[in-house]
Amino acid sequence: MLKIKVLVVDDSIFMRKLISRLIEEDVALEVIATARNGLEAIKLVNELKPDVVTLDVEMPEMNGLEALAQIMAQRPTPILMLSSLTQAGASATITALQSGAIDFISKPSGSVSFDLFKVKEELVSKIKQAAQIPVSRMIPSHRAASKVDLRYKDSVQAGLMKEFNQILAIGTSTGGPRALETVITALPASFPYPLLVVQHMPPKFTKSLAERLNKLSGVRVVEAENNERILGGTVYVAPGDYHLTAVHINGEYRIKLNQEPTRNGHRPSADVLFDSITQLKSLKRHFILMTGMGNDGANGMVLAKQTGASSTIAESKETCIVYGMPRSAIELSCVDHTVPLPLITSKILEVTGASRR
- Structure confidence by residue, pLDDT tens digits, 221-276: 999 999 999 999 999 999 999 999 999 999 999 999 999 999 999 999 999 999 99
The catalytic position among 200, 243, 266, 286 is 200
Go through 280-319 and write b for each residue having 16 or more CB atoms within 10 A of its CB, e for each that does not: eeebbbbbbbbbbbbbbbbbbbbbbbeeebbbbbbbbeeb
Q: Report the candidate in 226, 228, 160, 227 with the shortest Cα–Cα distance to residue 188.
A: 160
Q: Please confirm, yes or no, whether 200 is among the known catalytic residues.
A: yes
User: Cα dist. 97→57, 212, 320 in Å?
Assistant: 11, 12, 14
The catalytic position among 51, 56, 271, 296 is 296
Give the pLDDT confidence score for residue 195 in this predicted structure.
98
Confidence of residue 161 (pLDDT cuts 50, 70, 90): low
174 pLDDT more than 90: yes
Mean pLDDT of 103-130: 87
157 pLDDT more than 70: no
Give the pLDDT confidence score for residue 110 in this predicted structure.
65
In order of start, what are the domains of the chain with their CATH numbers?
Answer: 4-138 (3.40.50.2300), 150-352 (3.40.50.180)
Q: Please confirm, yes or no, whether 99 is among the known catalytic residues.
A: no
Three-state secondary structure call for residue 170:
strand
107 pLDDT more than 90: no
- State what percent of residues in the chain have pLDDT above 70: 92
Q: Report the candidate in 238, 149, 141 with the shortest Cα–Cα distance to residue 189.
A: 149
Q: In the predicted model, what is the mean pLDDT of the chain? A: 92
Provide the residue type at 233 as one letter.
Answer: G
Model confidence, pTM:
0.91
Mean pLDDT of 44-56: 97
Per the CB < 8 A criterion, the answer to whether 269 and 243 are in contact is yes
Give the pLDDT confidence score for residue 152 in this predicted structure.
52
Count CB neighbours of 228 within 10 A: 14
Per the CB < 8 A criterion, the answer to whether 185 and 178 are in contact is no
Give the pLDDT confidence score for residue 318 in this predicted structure.
94
The catalytic position among 83, 84, 91, 173 is 173
The mean-pLDDT minimum among 102-106, 300-304, 310-314 falls in: 102-106
Q: Pairing mode, if any, of strands 243-249 and 252-258?
A: antiparallel
Confidence of residue 145 (pLDDT cuts 50, 70, 90): very low
Q: Who contacts 294 (Cβ-Cβ below 8 Å, separation ≥6)?
A: 173, 264, 265, 266, 324, 325, 328
What tens digit of pLDDT does each residue of 11-28 get?
Answer: 999 999 999 999 999 999
Per the CB < 8 A criterion, the answer to whether 305 and 280 are in contact is no
Confidence of residue 58 (pLDDT cuts 50, 70, 90): confident
Per the CB < 8 A criterion, the answer to whether 239 and 209 are in contact is no
Per the CB < 8 A criterion, the answer to whether 277 and 243 are in contact is no
Give the pLDDT confidence score for residue 137 in this predicted structure.
79
Mean pLDDT of 172-192: 96
147 pLDDT more than 60: no
